[in-house]
């Protein structure tokens, strides 16, 4: 468990151990509820659950076996330029709406969800050999369903954030970011408030969902087999806004 102090409030971050290997059709909410007693935890109203994309993709049958992929001519040609398999390249193209940038070993795309990330968010870590893991079709909906299931079974209203690991422009290293939310406003806008010198704040809009998700990485780790974290003590705005509110509109982006 990690303990943080924020505005004199104690924020606790708990890893949820004991989540089994996920198969297609598994109910993530039920598995979380069953795992709580093993961790000597119970859910409270306004707790926040951070859930890794990988287990949600597995439960939603978003794993693709390489033998089911038939590369197009375009994918075959592009695969030679980016040093990836033609089958992976085909998936990258299928899951994207455009290529943002590529070099000899990296391809950055805009996914159908609107995310800008490497390889259209496709991953091969922590899954069975010869499979590719795609992002959920709609991570906001996934988060909402998990939240609804928990409310139905426990009469507890939590916020749910779906996390994934992205690289960052102009920075080395990856961080966890939010790709789906339910029950929490992913942004905290300070516009119009006054700083300590009485000046009006005009541009500060904090990516709260991303910050909470990144904090959860402290207990996730890459090899700890912890796909769910519980954050308690953070006073958030209880609004069901889409993660798309965090995506920079193209007409405001300096880099697209």
Q: Is the pTM of this model over 0.95?
A: no
What CATH class has 64-132? alpha beta
| Closest C-alpha to 205, from 253, 246, 256 | 246
Laid out side by side, the sheet with 228-232 consists of 2-6, 9-15, 228-232, 48-52, 159-168, 171-182
Q: Where in the chain is the domain with CATH 3.30.1330.100?
A: 8-62+137-246
**CB-based contact 93:78 (threshold 8 Å):** yes
pLDDT in tens, the chain (256 residues): 777 776 677 899 999 999 999 999 999 999 999 999 999 999 999 999 999 999 999 999 999 999 999 999 999 999 999 999 999 999 999 999 999 999 888 899 999 999 999 999 999 888 889 999 999 999 999 999 999 999 999 999 999 999 999 988 888 999 999 999 999 999 987 766 666 666 666 666 889 999 999 999 999 877 678 999 999 999 887 877 899 999 888 887 777 6
* 220 Cβ contact list (under 8 Å, min separation 6): 15, 52, 176, 226, 227, 229
Tell me the backbone φ, ψ of residue 102, rounded to 5 degrees.
-150, 155
Q: Where in the chain is the domain with CATH 3.90.1660.10?
A: 64-132
Q: Quote the tokens at residue 243.
A: 């993660």
| Closest C-alpha to 63, from 157, 134, 168 | 134
Question: Which CATH number is 8-62+137-246 given?
Answer: 3.30.1330.100
Q: 131-133 and 159-168 as β-strands: parallel, antiparallel, unpaired?
A: unpaired
The angle subtended at Cα 8 by Cα 7 and Cα 12, nearest 5°, is: 95
């Amino acid at each position: 468990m990690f303990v943080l102090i924020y505005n004199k409030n104690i924020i606790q971050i708990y890893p949820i151990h004991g989540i089994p290997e996920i198969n297609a059709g598994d109910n993530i909410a039920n598995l979380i509820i069953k795992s709580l007693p093993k961790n000597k935890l119970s859910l409270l109203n306004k707790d926040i659950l951070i859930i890794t994309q990988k287990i949600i993709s597995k439960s939603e049958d978003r794993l693709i076996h390489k033998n089911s992929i038939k590369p197009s001519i375009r994918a075959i040609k592009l695969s030679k330029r980016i040093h990836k398999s033609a089958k992976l390249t085909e998936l990258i193209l299928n899951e994207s709406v455009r290529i943002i940038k590529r070099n000899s070993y990296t391809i950055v795309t805009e996914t159908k969800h609107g995310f800008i990330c490497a390889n259209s968010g496709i991953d091969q870590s922590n899954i069975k050999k010869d499979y590719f893991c795609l992002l959920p079709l709609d991570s906001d909906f996934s988060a909402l369903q998990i939240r609804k299931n928990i409310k139905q079974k426990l009469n507890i209203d939590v916020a749910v954030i779906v996390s994934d690991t992205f690289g960052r422009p102009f920075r080395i290293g990856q961080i966890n970011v939010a790709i789906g939310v339910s029950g929490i406003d992913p942004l905290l806008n300070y516009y119009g408030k006054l700083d300590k010198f009485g000046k009006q704040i005009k541009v500060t809009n904090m990516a709260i969902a991303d910050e909470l998700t990144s904090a959860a990485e402290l207990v996730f780790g890459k090899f700890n087999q912890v796909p769910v974290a519980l954050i308690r003590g953070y006073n958030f705005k209880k609004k069901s806004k889409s993660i798309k509110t965090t995506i920079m509109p193209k007409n405001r982006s300096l880099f697209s």
